[in-house]
Structures are given as C-alpha cells and as structure tokens.
Chains A and B, each alone.
Chain A
Amino acid sequence: MFNKLDIEYDGPPVDKSALSLIASVLVAGLLLAVTITIVLSDKGHNTGLATVITQNIELSGVTNPVTAVLLNFRAYDTLLEIAVLLVVVLAILPTRDHHTPFFKRIEVNKQNLVLSALQCWIAPAVVIFAGYLLWAGAHQPGGAFQAGALLAGASVLLFQSDTYQINYTSPIARVLLVLSLGVFITIGTALIWFEGSLLTYPLAFSGLLILLIETCATVSITLALASLYSSFIANENLSITDNKHRTIE
C-alpha cells in the first residue's frame, strides 16, 4: 500500500492561481521600479513634446492641442485608426439580407416602458450633445471620437428598445461606414497634389478640412461601434430563432 502511494505521489499540489498571483506581483513590482526610476530621474524638467506642440499650434488650424495632434501633426495615426475600425467591422459584420432598408420602424408587441421612455428623452439629447462635442473639439476637449461613442451608445439604446431596426449591411450603411476613410484618404492624397506631401493642410483651410474630416469620422465611428455592439446582441437573437426552427422541424 505504501509502495502504491509512493508511486502516485507527485509532489505537493500546485495551486495555479497562487503561481499567477506571484507572477503578476513580480511583473507589477518590476514595472513599478522602472516607473519610479523614470519619474524621479527627470525631476519634472522633461516636458515631452508639449513645448513643440504649443509653439506650432497656430499652424494646425485648431486651438485644442489634443485635436491638433490627432488630426494635424499625427493625422496619419488617426487615418490608420479609422482603417482598423473599418477592418474590425468587416470582420464581424453579420451577413444579413442587404435588401432590407437601412432604417425601419418595426411593430412592437411588448414595449418596455423604461427603455422606450429613456429612448424618447435621451436619444435627442444625445444627438445634440454629440453635435456640441464635435464642434467643441476645435478648442477644448471633445471631438469625433467622443461624439461618435455617444451616438453609438444612443443607437445601441435604440436597438435594445426593439422599436427600430437598423440594417448595417444595407448599401447606405456601407457607404456611411467607408465615408470617413474615403474622405480622409481623398483629402490626404489630394494634398500631395496641392501641398507636396501627404496630409499637409494648407494654412488657410486647415480648420475647415479638420472639421470636415471630423464630421465624417463621427458618422463612421458611430455606425462602426453601433454595428459591432448590435451584431453582438443580434447574434444572440438569431440563434434563438434558429433553435425555434430546429424544434419545429
């Protein structure tokens, strides 16, 4: 009996979560040590690129430094970001019938009072606030991404209240999804012709071009985020109807 136990015994039990806890504490400790050295070593003299950006802010066409970085100094990054968003949408866009209209009101058999009231009161306010955020992006915190995220939240609310149906694979939705990337690339390459390099805005039109790109980006980001999170819920509903068909068969 003892021999059998000896054979089966393979060391003390290993607790995986304890090991991971030790590993993450070690990682955190290492990172903390590096950070403390970095922060303490420059003693607040290093201002990063803040001085460069504030010196060149007049050239950007906007007065908010974050917007200036996003859409002028590093516009290329924003272009790629919008492209990434589009790629993600293409990866998981539900293959739905593209002949149904883009936006349609559906008949409600059981209305959720709280959701519909929320939708009536919040959705219009969100649209106005998103417009304000988009406009405010030029001189204070705000901009296309904040406005787009707000509007996407409102459209997920619309989707949840089951009163409206938005088809994200209809031709209109496809055009709107590609709109910002298309406008961005068109403006960027057109500027090679006029200014000599990619995405270098002419000084007189930089504010206007940034506003145009931001507006298109708001529309595309709204649709992209809304379609991503609605398709996540729609898959769930789709599978329920699938199961029903299966049981009938």
Chain B
Amino acid sequence: MTSALFYSMAGLALFAIGFFGVVVASHVMRKILALNVMGVGIFMFLIALAKRNPLVVDPLPHALVLTGIVIAVAGTALALNLMVRIHHIDQSSQEQSK
C-alpha cells in the first residue's frame, strides 16, 4: 500500500464520519462541525492524490485545496452567523409567547 492510497483512504473515512454526523446530528452546531469534517476529508483526499507518483508532486490540487480552505472557512462563518440569528429569533419568540 502506497502512502497516497493510505492517506486518501483516511480522507474518505473522515468524509464518511462527517456524512454520518450531518445526517444524524440534531443540533445545527453539530451539523456545521460535521460538514467541516467532511470538507477536511475531501481536502486530505485531494492532497493525497497529488502525490500518486512518489517522485513528482502535483501542485494543482494543492492550489485547489488552498482555495477550498478559504471558501470553507467563509462558508462556516456564514453558517455560524445564521445559526446565531436563528437562535436569537427562537429566544425572542419564546419570550413573546410567555
């Protein structure tokens, strides 16, 4: 087993764990974290496949992953902000109903 195969399989395992979390988790925060685990799995997979040939490293997947990380961070921030907004709306509507 080459290291590329090993790490790509580990990345896929992370993806599967994240997928499980996204489906099962009931809290939005847990879902967001699980989505991030999924994303990290995909990044790891791409990085591992960049070194399929043990002598040459393909820089293109590295650049892709770098772009992906920034977009993932921005998406996570958006999701967290929306989550906080939903939480506040829930709280204020509960207070009003009291």
**Residues of A near any B CB (own CB < 8 A):** 16-17, 20-21, 23-25, 27-28, 31-32, 35-36, 38-40, 42, 44-51, 53, 65-66, 68-70, 74, 77-78, 81, 84-85, 88, 91-92, 143, 145, 149, 221, 224-225, 228-229, 231-232, 235-236, 239, 246
**In the complex the two chains form, what is the Cα distance from A28 to B91 in whole Å?**
39
Interface size bucket, B side?
Answer: 35 or more
Q: Which of A17, A74, A78, A145 is close to B24, meaning CB atoms less than 8 Å apart?
A: A17
The answer to whether the Cβ of B12 comes within 8 Å of any Cβ in the partner chain is yes
Q: Which of A32, A39, A143, A239 is close to B52, meaning CB atoms less than 8 Å apart?
A: A39
**In the complex the two chains form, what is the Cα distance from A235 to B60 in whole Å?**
38
Which residues does chain A contribute within 8 Å of B19, judged by CB atoms? Answer: 23-24, 27-28
Q: Which of B16, B57, B70 is close to A81, meaning CB atoms less than 8 Å apart?
A: B70
The answer to whether the Cβ of B15 comes within 8 Å of any Cβ in the partner chain is yes
Contact yes or no, B62 A66, CB < 8 A: yes
Smallest distance from the beta carbon of A241 to chain B beta carbons, Å?
Answer: 12
Contact yes or no, A92 B81, CB < 8 A: yes
1/0 per position for B55-98, CB-CB distance to A under 8 A? 01111111100110111011101101110110010010001000
| Contact A69-B63, Cβ < 8 Å, known A27-B16, A228-B77, A235-B81 | yes
Which residues does chain A contribute within 8 Å of B33, judged by CB atoms? Answer: none
Q: Which of B57, B58, B63, B77 is close to A88, meaning CB atoms less than 8 Å apart?
A: B77
29 sample A-B contacts, Cβ–Cβ < 8 Å, listed by A number: A16-B24, A24-B17, A24-B23, A27-B16, A28-B15, A31-B12, A35-B9, A35-B12, A39-B5, A39-B52, A46-B53, A47-B53, A48-B52, A48-B61, A49-B58, A50-B57, A53-B58, A69-B59, A77-B63, A84-B74, A85-B70, A85-B71, A92-B82, A145-B66, A225-B73, A229-B77, A231-B81, A232-B77, A239-B91
Which residues does chain B contribute within 8 Å of A231, judged by CB atoms? Answer: 81
The total number of A-B Cβ pairs within 8 Å is 138
Q: Interface majority SS on B: helix, strand, loop or mixed?
A: helix
B14 closest partner in A (C-beta): A28
Which residues does chain B contribute within 8 Å of A70, judged by CB atoms? Answer: 63, 66-67
Nearest 5 interchain pairs by C-beta: A28-B16, A48-B58, A228-B77, A65-B59, A69-B63
Which residues does chain B contribute within 8 Å of A42, judged by CB atoms? Answer: 52
**In the complex the two chains form, what is the Cα distance from A74 to B19 in whole Å?**
30
**In the complex the two chains form, what is the Cα distance from A221 to B88 in whole Å?**
28
Q: Which of A47, A77, A78, A88 is close to B74, meaning CB atoms less than 8 Å apart?
A: A88
**In the complex the two chains form, what is the Cα distance from A47 to B49 in whole Å?**
10
Q: Which of B2, B15, B17, B58 is close to A50, meaning CB atoms less than 8 Å apart?
A: B58
Contact yes or no, A44 B54, CB < 8 A: yes
The answer to whether the Cβ of B28 comes within 8 Å of any Cβ in the partner chain is no
